[in-house]
Every structure is written in C-alpha cells, then in structure tokens.
Amino acid sequence: MLKKITAALTAGLLIISLAGCTQNRIPDLTDEQMQMMGEFAAFNLMKYDANDRSRLVDYTDMLSTPEPEPAQDPAAEGTETQEPQGMDPVDDTPVTGAPGSEAGNAYTAASVLGLPEGMEIVFTEYGLYDVYPEGDEGSFALSATEGKKLLVLNFSIINATGQDQEVDFLTLSPQFGITVNGDYSRRAWMTMLESDMTTFVGTVPNAGAVSAVLVIEVEEAAAENISSVSLDIKNDSKKCTMQLI
C-alpha cells in the first residue's frame, strides 16, 4: 500500500519537474496547478486505500440534502388526536316583514340613526325621474345618466317625543344601502338636496314630521319592473334592514 501511495506522489512530482526542466529548478506553481496537484494526489490516495470507500460515502452524504424524518404517529406515543369542537348549530329562520317594516332586526332605523325614543323613520313612496326635482328651475337638480333613471325614495322623520328635536345626520355619517329586485345594490347618493337624508341637518318639530329622500340610479329596464326595494342602514356596529317594497 505504501509503495502505491509513494508511486502516486512520485508521479505528481515528476509532472512538476517536467514542467520546470528547462530552467533546472522547481518552478513557481500557480493556484490552478496547486489545485491540480492536490486533486491528483487525493484521487490516487482514495483509489488505493481500501478503507476510503466509507469516507467517500460520508462526504457525499454531507453534500446532499438529508431526507426528512418520517412523521411520528401520535398513537405510538400514547396520545390521542381530538377533533375540534364548535358550537351546536342553531335554527336561523329569516323573518319577512310588511313593506317598510323592520321585523327581525335588533335595532330600528331610528336607533341606528341616533334618534331618541319617540322618533321614527317611515317610508312613504318612491318615484322614477329623469330630472329631480322636476319643474323647479333655478334650484339644484339631479339628472339621470343616459339609459338610466333616478330612483327617489321618500321618507318622513316623525317626532313624537314631546319636544322639538335637532337632527344631524351629516355629522353622524350613517351608510344607506339600497337593493332593488334583490340583486341590484347601490349606496345612496350624497347630494346637495335640502331633503337629502344622508346629509340632513335640521329641527323636527314636536308632533310633526319632515320629509327626507334617498337617491340612486337604476337601469331603465329595471325601473320598468321594480318588484322589491330594501334599505340597509348602518352606523358603527349598529345595522338594520327596512323592506320598503
């Protein structure tokens, strides 16, 4: 074995001596030549070392990516996997109220809008317009986009509290969502109309009422066949739905 290793090293030195024989001295080796020398010697050492096979395998395994260990079976360790338990199901039957009602809601429209007890919001009627208000030249008016109609919902804010009440929906900033025929939903416009409920600020006299409107646009095809209209009112964590039609 020693002879074979010696022969390998001698061969390497012979390469060096041949490379520098013209100058009768061992030449300076470049980094590349030094690397070749090292690789040559290492190759021959491993080639003739009978015990080197295991070391070569270990080195190769070190460079390779280790295979993940198999997952342990919880049952083998005496543990049990428990299914997560949730709440028992409850019946949730929708309640359908009469037009304009708030049946099935936790809050009334008045409470969502911050009105005191004794005040209420009542839907009265709706109208379809190309221009609203009609025939009132010189004042602010809304115009429908071509191919659409303005859907104007009319309400009364009624005061039966025993005293005049100041109302400020502009500061409250509630959200009014209108759904037509069950699948067409739009947020009510914020306009400059004095009666616009989204921005209404004013006094509602005792034992009296003031008018308010909400406006959206609908396609003319839908405007010709309105079968249902609902209103969602939301403010902070409070919400209610009024089935208007």
Distance, in Å, from the CA atom of 96 to the CA atom of 103, rounded to the nearest integer, reads 7
Give the helix ranges, DSSP H, for the chain: 2-19, 31-48, 52-63, 109-112, 169-172, 220-223
Residue found under tokens 């429908």 = 144
Name the residue among 177, 221, 169, 226 with its Cα closest to residue 193. 169
Residues of the chain scoring pLDDT < 50: 2-10, 13-26, 47-67, 76, 78-99
pTM over 0.85: no
Query: Please, which residues bridge with residue 208 across strands?
Result: 159
> What is the structure's pLDDT at 6?
47
Side-chain half-sphere CA neighbours of 118 within 13 A: 13
> What is the structure's pLDDT at 181?
96
- All CATH 2.60.40 domain ranges in the chain, comma separated: 109-243
> What is the structure's pLDDT at 135?
79
DSSP letter string, 124-137: EEEEEESEESTT-T
Would you identify the CATH topology of the domain 109-243?
A: Immunoglobulin-like (2.60.40)
> What is the structure's pLDDT at 32?
61
Strands 184-187 and 142-143: unpaired
Distance, in Å, from the CA atom of 52 to the CA atom of 180, rounded to the nearest integer, reads 84
Q: What phi and psi, each to the nearest 5 degrees, are found at residue 18? A: -65, -40
b/e code 205-242 from CB counts within 10 Å (16+ = b): eeeebbebbbbbebeeebbeebeebbbbbebeebbbbb
Alpha carbon separation from 28 to 15, 24, 31 (Å, rounded)? 13, 12, 10
> What residue type is 205 in one-letter code?
P
Q: Quick check: 17 and 11 in contact, CB under 8 A? A: no
Q: Quick check: 165 and 115 in contact, CB under 8 A? A: yes
Give the list of residues 6+ apart from residue 164 with CB closer than 8 angstroms, or none: 203, 204, 205, 206
> What is the structure's pLDDT at 35?
62
DSSP state of 179: E
> What is the structure's pLDDT at 58?
37
